[in-house]
Amino acid sequence: MNSIQPKILVIDDDVKLLGAVRRLLTSAGMQVITSASSLHLPKLVQREKPDLILLDIEMPTLSGEHVLDFTKLFDFLRATPIVLHSAKSEEELQSLVARSHAIGYIKKTGNPMSLVAQVKAFLTARESGA
């Protein structure tokens, strides 16, 4: 990771959820950048150089699925691990991960400790090169 405090970019159109996730991950020792629009992804990744992107799939304007297609075009976007964050079914998420370069997914469960544990697991896997 690029710092002692891992940097997470969270993209979700639900502003209340963004605030809750920011508070939760910040309290777990992470630096969190948020955006309510996926259109800002390239600019934010270039400027902030996050260790991980937590991406909502169901968003207006540019859906997470389209973002995943879009990220294949740019090396600097492919180099940043993307974890899908969605309420979609396990089957839909597994399929989407399989056909994209996302490294996995986290279901929106409402369980804050589960979210923190899963984000930490993805960060640890990235650090160890898994």
Split at pLDDT 50, 70, 90, the class of 112 is confident
Q: What local confidence, expressed as pLDDT, does residue 72 receive?
A: 65
Give the least confident one: 17-26, 44-53, 69-78, 80-89.
Answer: 69-78
Confidence of residue 2 (pLDDT cuts 50, 70, 90): very low
Other CB atoms within a 10 A radius of the CB of residue 112 amount to 15
Predicted TM-score (pTM) above 0.75: yes
Could you tell me if 39 and 70 are in contact, meaning their C-beta atoms sit under 8 angstroms apart? no
Residue 12 identity (one-letter amino acid): D
Reply yes or no on whether the pLDDT at 119 is more than 80: yes
Closest listed residue to residue 6, CA positions, set 51, 37, 46? 51
The residue to which tokens 């993805």 are assigned: 122
What does the CA dihedral 85, 90, 94, 100 come to, rounded to 10 degrees? Answer: -30
Tens of pLDDT, residues 69-92: 666 666 677 788 999 998 888 998
Query: Could you count the other beta carbons within 10 Å of the beta carbon of residue 84?
Result: 25
CA 32 to mean position of chain CA atoms: 11
CA nearest 122: which of 96, 95, 97?
A: 97
Counting residues of the chain whose pLDDT is more than 90, the rounded percentage is 51
Q: Which residue has the tokens 């159109």?
A: 13
- pLDDT of residue 61 exceeding 90: no
